[in-house]
Amino acid sequence: MSRSRSLRVFRRAVPVVVAYAALAMSQNTKTGNPSAPHPVAPPVTAITPNPIPSPASRTTPSTKSTLPENDVEQMTRAQFRALADNALVRYHGQSLTKAAFVKQRLEQLQVQGRQKTGASFEALRNQFLQKQEADLATRNARAQAIGDALNSRMARVQSSPACVSLLKETAEIQRKYPSASPAEQSRLKQRALEIHTELLKLEIN
Amino acid sequence: MQPAITNALAFRLATAVAALLLLSEAGHAQGVLNANSAHTVLCSIAACPSTTPVISSLDPASVVSPGGKIVVNGSNFNSQSGQPGKIVLKLGSKYPVTIMRLGSPTVFHQPYVERQLAVLGWAGSHAFAQIPADVTGVMDGTAIVEIWRDDGVKSNSFAVSFTATRDFQILPLHDVAMQTCEAKADANLCNHWSDSSQLTIPAMVTGVGSQFSIFGQHTMFIPNPNTTQVEGTDKYSFDLKNGWVLDKSHDFENGVFPVYGCFGSDAPVDKDYQDSKPIYSAPSSSSVWVFWKAGCGTQYAVALHITGPIGVPWK
């Protein structure tokens, strides 16, 4: 991702972070089990997931204390993991169980995610389709110019003196042919064929 | 004698009718005679040689796509009637063709489509026409153009290169494979895999709404807004078929939409398309690496924009 893109991402994220921080400070939460795995195992390679509290550790008798040392912000990750799910912890001056705290932590980002929806894809899609249409129109204009030029050329050929002369002779042959003698008809046939060929040549050339 | 009289009478009658017809046609022709109708008249008198329409080329300016205009060059496009004929575009094969790819055969069968073009201009040596805009479900490839003359005589089959109209979509999440999820945070989720039953893929995600290809979340239970506690790289992959590729119109900036728990220790999420090099190539398959950091918790969604022939499946 480019630097400018990263900056855009940063700018976009700032209000989300602010809202998140406000939410995090105000919310109370309930119990959860962070270690329960989903049914599908990942094809993870060279990955060391964090140790998850063992069932044994989760059944450790709770520490009911709400002393300042139970402030989660003062704990290491290892200390926090060692706590039982129903252990009371303090967070931003509020007391809650570890499980409730964990649930709150997991839910907060998803709450943020639901707050906004994007319509950007539809806009991009329309932009894409419009560009495609515009490209087609541009290319079609070139083909249209060729087609128009050919049609104009055909019109010019048909109005050229050579073509007009041949058309006039064709009409003359057509007029004479029915009443012509057999010998004359034979000559007219021959000439009709010649005119046919000449007209074709004019069209092609 | 009776039959002879009858035959002579019939012959005279037929001659008179033929003469009247010719005179009538001559009168008509003299009024509006043009090059096309002249051929009709001339060939009614002389025995014009029978010809076959021949397509020799397609003008390079032709647009062989749905809605595109084409100029066909050749000879003998006019029949003796002088009426324009038809231009027919044939796409695909009447016999199912399985497109083979390395690794696995693709099961999509290119359908056979035969469409008549709208004629915009017609002469003995060229025809100008427009392909219908609603040709869909057809992949890019060789197509056949034919001239069907007014008298029914067909030209040679002329091969052209057809380019389908493109569609623009977001690759659905279930068409993206998760290769690696670096489960270094306290709770982690990468598409359909997670180490926490409490993490789920939300129906709506910031920035992308309900349509996205990749979704990940890495949450720290004990937030640290000042220091990144863990970082990792999640890897995903996709494999598109039948002419579909990753859209490159925005330089692969298909949209990473991150939500940071704490901006200072979580940002930024970044991504890289491993098979998009050189930079302007559009891969049909690639690994997508998402780099993340978590001090508090990071969530990201990626919408992979893909383009391909409209009406053709990408898998």
Q: So where are chain B's domains?
A: 2-33, 54-164, 168-309
CA distance A30 to chain B (A): 12
pLDDT tens string B123-180: 888 999 999 999 999 999 999 999 999 999 999 999 999 999 999 999 999 999 999 9
| pLDDT exceeds cutoff 90 at A91 | no
Whole-number pLDDT of residue A109: 65
CB B221, CB A101: distance < 8 Å: yes
Report the 10 Å Cβ neighbour count for B174: 9
Kindly tell me if the per-residue pLDDT of B307 is higher than 80: yes
Paired tokens of A26: 């105000």
Q: Which has more pLDDT, B127 or B210?
A: B127
Average pLDDT, chain B: 82
Residue A72 has pLDDT above 90, yes or no: no
Q: Say how far apart CA A157 and CA B26 lie, in whole Å.
A: 22
Q: What is the pLDDT of residues A115-171, one digit of tens each?
A: 444 447 888 889 899 999 999 999 999 999 999 998 898 888 888 999 999 999 999
What percent of chain A shows pLDDT beyond 70?
Answer: 60
More confident residue, A32 or B169: B169
Mutate to test the interface with B, among A174, A177, A204, A205 (most CBs of B within 10 A): A174
Lowest mean pLDDT across A124-128, A171-175, B282-286 = B282-286
CB contacts under 8 A, A 88-107 vs B, are 101-103, 105-107
Class of domain B54-164: mainly beta
Lookup: tokens for A125: 């899609």
Tell me the C-alpha distance between B145 and B231, whole Å: 58
Which pLDDT does position B281 carry in this prediction? 66
Within 10 angstroms of residue B231's Cβ, the number of other Cβ atoms is 16
pLDDT of residue A93: 84
Q: Which residue has the higher pLDDT, B146 or B32?
A: B146
In this prediction, residue B21 has a pLDDT band, given cuts at 50, 70 and 90, of very low
Residues in chain A with CB shorter than 8 Å from the CB of B186 are 34, 50, 77, 102, 105
Predicted local distance difference test score (pLDDT) of residue A111: 60
pLDDT digits 0-9 by tens, B266-281: 877 777 777 655 556 6
Q: For B268, which of A9, A46, A195 is closest by C-beta distance?
A: A9
